[in-house]
Amino acid sequence: MPWYRTALRERTPTLMTRGSWTPWTRRIGLTAAAAVAAVTLAGPGTAQAATTTAATATASVSAAAAEDVDYATWQRDCQAVMDQALPYLKQRIAAASKGEKQAIVFDIDNTTLETDYGFSYPSPANAPVLKVAQYAQEHGVALFFVTARPDIIKPFTQFNLTHVGYDVTGLYVRNLIDLFKNVADYKTAQRVDIESKGYTIIANIGNSATDLSGGHAEKTYKLPDYDGQLS
């Protein structure tokens, strides 16, 4: 689980069977979160110098995957959800009204990217989700990404998404003030902002209740998080 999600997410994840892994990453997360706040307040020069360190920490800690759930099972479960989403999206995209600006909102960690299974930076795409996203973007649908990640690693996140094949229309990350807000409320507010730009959100895809609650999407699709074992 990446350090920023460990430290900043609203709900407490289920402990995993990796011995000392969970407390170790939590300690890294709390230290890194404090560093993000300190660097942000210090000014742009310090922030720029710390950004590379933050991204390196993200990549290394993300290598700790959920041992309770093997990769093949997770991929099958993701595919099952996307098998429900794609027929709806094909129908909804085909039925777009004249001038309608359609959009899909995605979470990032263990939704669009294999954060807890990727073992590297850039993290690989979550293949079942990428397939759906690419169908949508090839048919003129805008892709927006709403994440609880802090803005200090926004450039690295954007590069990762585009590197693996996503066309990023918009990427929403949390600034310092947002870090103190309820995650579900924060994500809902970003969807409201997307709608204010004239988009119709035809689907919202994530792996946590905080990704999907609050409305402002015609359909929601929840990928597995196994009771919080995946970030």
Domain boundaries, the chain: 3-61, 71-222
Q: What percent of the chain has pLDDT over 90?
A: 66
| Angle value at C-alpha 47, between 44 and 51, nearest 5 degrees | 140
Please state which of the ranges 64-73, 74-83, 98-107 shows the lowest mean pLDDT.
64-73
Q: Tell whether the torsion through CA atoms of 21, 22, 27 and 29 is positive or negative.
A: positive
Give the Cα separation of 38 and 14 in Å (integer): 29
pLDDT in tens, 138-184: 999 999 999 999 999 999 999 999 999 999 999 999 999 999 999 99
pLDDT in tens, 39-54: 333 444 444 444 444 4
| Angle value at C-alpha 11, between 8 and 17, nearest 5 degrees | 95
pLDDT in tens, 114-139: 999 977 899 999 999 999 999 999 99
CATH code of the region 71-222:
3.40.50.1000
85 is written with which tokens?
């989403």
Q: Tell whether the torsion through CA atoms of 40, 42, 44 and 47 is positive or negative.
A: negative
Predicted confidence at residue 34, as pLDDT, reads 37
Residue given tokens 């990446």 in the structure block: 2
Residue given tokens 């996503």 in the structure block: 166
Asked if 116 contacts 109 with a C-beta cutoff of 8 angstroms, the reply is yes
pLDDT in tens, 15-69: 232 222 232 222 233 333 333 343 333 444 444 444 444 444 434 333 344 557 8
